Amino acid sequence: MAKHTDIARVLAEQKTGEKIEVKGWVRAFRANRFIALNDGSGANNLQVVVDFEQFDESVIKGISFHSCIAVSGTLVESQGSGQAVELQADTIEILGGNDLEKYPLQPKRQTMEFLRENAHFRMRTNTFSSVFRLRHALAFAVHSFFNEEGFYYMHTPIITGSDAEGAGEMFQVTTLDVKDSPKTDEGQVDYSQDFFGKATNLTVSGQLQAEIGALAMGKVYTFGPTFRAENSNTSRHLAEFWMIEPEVAFADLKDNMDLAEAFVKYLINYVLDKYMDDLNILDARIQQEEKNMKAELRRPMGLIETLRFVVDNEFARITYTEAINLLRSSKPYKKGRFEYDVEWGVDLQAEHERWLVEKKFQKPVIVTDYPKDIKAFYMRMNDDGKTVAAMDILFPGIGEVVGGSQREERLNVLMDRMTEMDVHHDELDWYLDLRRFGGNKHAGFGLGFERIVQFITGMTNIRDVIAFPRTPGSAEF
């Protein structure tokens, strides 16, 4: 039997009169005559026309929702509306039957929570197959952008002995028996007897190692899994997520902002150019969901309209101090509608970020020059001695999607900051060496991949844009 053809290719080429074989899962079977078949290669289904009188009754009965079949036949111009071509079936083979009385999914709308509980089947739905095709496309676009811009891809370690953020919310890696671990004379765990001879953790960031690459090769980026042992059960947080972290030698904060804005616009344009069918499915889903909502709760624009608006407009750029002043003079602040207070020196909350983006500027906003006390030790101190050359990009709906800074290249200033923030010099002596020997100014940022996928797909929960979410109390599959 000839090799089967992907349905996406069949629909793209529309070679009527050809004998072909396709394989896939049944999305619908109407009147014992019309099969909507999808193999995951694209958003659109192929209509298969069945002359049921010519097939054994057992075959017809085996064609059910999400059963897996192989069909051979002739591709012809469609006689009905809704599709240009259809497949007239000559043979049908049931590759994998489906008992709908036991199958969790049914041919009706399912809640997102129900699909999360049955995550091993959710990619078979229109919504999630589109989400994960777009996730693939965006991952490919990440590498395309940086390759075109002359960056080198670095694989930074997943197991590390350093905490890039200084936050302490890390997953420990050990081969020691947690119930009977060796102890030092002081009664502490003796990590010198552990596998690596020291305490190690899963990485929270590849940034520090990427700086090694940038200060030798000019422009590098990482794209890999990172981990935060943060007990946050929210729609915006994961314990395991993917991070994209470029690092650029000879770059300052403005260069960093320019690169980040160009990067996210490239990603959005890539899917607008190549994956419009999937975007249309997700746009329609959002419109259906919001149909019965109050007007003030609906999105101001549709998904595709929002994406086009982002790429067609320059991002607003304001300082943290300006952001605080705008928030304190806003109507929500004056009327006590913000849950969290607004004062200089305190980090912006999601509600503050969304007001700036969605109400004040109505487009993405880059906030710069944050107070030093709420940012990491490696960010370059500004001349005012109070703020650092940091920047966050805020998007509608999800808040911060990019965080970055110009890095502190001055050895004495960096050492003072490390001391101030209780970061031990001896543990990061190699990092200080980058300043001691041939250092220069450099900058970089981190983009949470799931955050940008969430924005582009319009999904409201970050757990719905990664195949197997890792969250507090949940590590299925």
Alpha-carbon gap, residue 230 to 240, rounded angstroms? 10
- The full length of the chain comes to 477
CA 22 to chain centre: 32
Neighbours of 373 (CB within 10 A): 13
> What pLDDT sits at residue 79?
86
| Cross-sheet strand order for the sheet of 219-227 | 152-154, 219-227, 240-249, 442-448, 399-406, 387-395, 365-371, 316-319
253-274 and 449-457 helices, crossing angle to 10°? 40
3-state secondary structure labels for all residues of the chain: CCCCCCHHHHHHHCCCCCEEEEEEEEEEEECCCEEEEECCCCCCCEEEECCHHHCCHHHHHHCCCCCEEEEEEEEEECCCCCCCEEEEEEEEEEEECCCCCCCCCCCCCCCHHHHHHCCCCHHHCHHHHHHHHHHHHHHHHHHHHHHHCCCEEECCCCEECCCCCCCCCCCEECCCCCCCCCECCCCCECHHHCCCCCCEEECCCCHHHHHHHHHHHCEEEEEEEEECCCCCCCCCCCCEEEEEEEEEECCCHHHHHHHHHHHHHHHHHHHHHHCHHHHHHHHHHHHHHHCCCCHHHCCCCCHHHHHHHHHHCCCEEEEHHHHHHHHHCCHHHHCCCCCCCCCCCCCCCHHHHHHHHHHHHCCCEEEEEEEHHHCCCCECECCCCCEEEEEEEEECCCEEEEEEEEECCCHHHHHHHHHHCCCCCHHHHHHHHHHHCCCCCEEEEEEEHHHHHHHHHCCCCHHHCCCCCCECCECCC
User: For residue 73, what pLDDT is reported?
Assistant: 96
Q: Tell me the longest C-alpha to C-alpha distance in the chain.
A: 85
Report angle CA 258, 260, 264 to the nearest 5 degrees.
120
pTM metric for this prediction: 0.93
What is residue 375's predicted lDDT score, i.e. its pLDDT?
95
Residue with tokens 């999360």: 116
- pLDDT, residue 165, reads 60
Task: Let me know: does 164 contact 212? Beta carbons within 8 Å.
Answer: no
Question: 268: which residues sit within 8 A by CB, 6+ positions away?
Answer: 307, 310, 311, 456
Fill in the amino acid letter for 45.
N
C-beta separation of 238 from 470 below 8 A: yes
Query: Domains of the chain, with CATH numbers?
Result: 7-103 (2.40.50.140), 124-157+213-464 (3.30.930.10)
Could you tell me which residues are beta bridge partners of residue 248? 219, 443
Buried/exposed code over 80-107 (b: 16+ C-beta within 10 A; e: otherwise): eeeeebbbebeebebeeebeeeeeebee
Question: Distance between CA 319 and CA 10 in Å, rounded?
Answer: 52
The pLDDT value given to residue 233: 80
31 CB-near residues (< 8 Å, 6+ apart): none
Q: Quick one: tokens of 24?
A: 């896939």
Structure tokens at 132: 């994960």
**How far apart are the two ends of the chain, measured CA to CA in Å?**
35
Q: How far apart are CA 415 and CA 85, in angstroms?
A: 68
In which residue are the tokens 């849950």 written?
Answer: 339
The span from the CA of 267 to the CA of 136, in Å, is 12
Burial of residue 150, with CB atoms counted within 10 A of its CB: 0-12 exposed, 13-18 middle, 19 or more buried:
exposed
* pLDDT for the residue 2: 57
398, 387 Cβ separation under 8 angstroms: no
Can you give the pLDDT of all 477 residues of the chain as single tens digits?
458 999 999 999 999 999 999 999 999 999 999 999 999 999 999 999 999 889 999 999 999 999 999 999 999 999 888 899 999 999 999 999 999 999 999 998 889 999 999 999 999 999 999 999 999 999 999 999 999 999 999 999 999 987 666 555 899 999 999 899 999 999 899 999 999 999 999 999 999 999 999 999 999 999 999 999 988 888 878 999 999 999 999 999 999 999 999 999 999 999 999 999 999 999 999 999 888 888 777 887 899 999 998 999 999 999 999 999 999 999 999 999 999 999 999 999 999 999 999 899 989 999 999 999 999 999 999 999 999 999 999 998 888 999 999 999 999 999 999 999 999 899 899 999 999 999 999 999 999 999 999 999 999 999 999 999 999 988 888
